[in-house]
Amino acid sequence: MTTVTSPLTGKVVGLAGVPDPVFSGAMVGPGTAIDPVRRPTEAVAPVDGVVVSMHPHAFVVVDADGHGVLTHLGIDTVQLNGEGFELLVNKGDMVTCGQAVIRWDPAAVEAAGKSPISPIVALEAAPDSLTDLRESGEAEAGDQLFSWS
């Protein structure tokens, strides 16, 4: 069982609240999303594991059970070409749950015309493999978002 925690502090909106059909349709995988607080902040690792993919706007951590969790910081933020994102770890690094991975400013993303809503997705997971899935309320970084069996 993998416990996936929030990489960000903000409002839990669920994948249905993501303004992107690929995420809202759970085509990448099931999960939820956070509408982050509008201040410079750090996105933290949602699980213990290895960083297998690292981009300024997104990262994937794979845990000991082989579960890959994607954190995507904002929507269409790839178009910002890394502007406003600072990588704090590298691909291949071991991270612990709650460790800072990327520093960014959701308000700057919004000012650039992009949505700062951030999907947290269980990659290649069956929809029924997630339990205790949160789709509303407030979350602090480190709060549980869902369990993955």
Supply the residues annotated as catalytic. Answer: 72
Is there a contact between 84 and 38 (Cβ–Cβ < 8 Å)?
Answer: no
Dump the DSSP string for 66-116. Answer: S-EEEEE-SBSGGGGTTTT-EE-S-TT-EE-TT-EEEEE-HHHHHHTT-B-
List C-alpha distances in Å: 94 to 39, 48, 49: 27, 8, 6
Q: Quick one: CA dihedral 82, 112, 60, 25, positive or negative?
A: negative
Cα–Cα distance for residue pair 10/88, rounded to 1 Å: 21
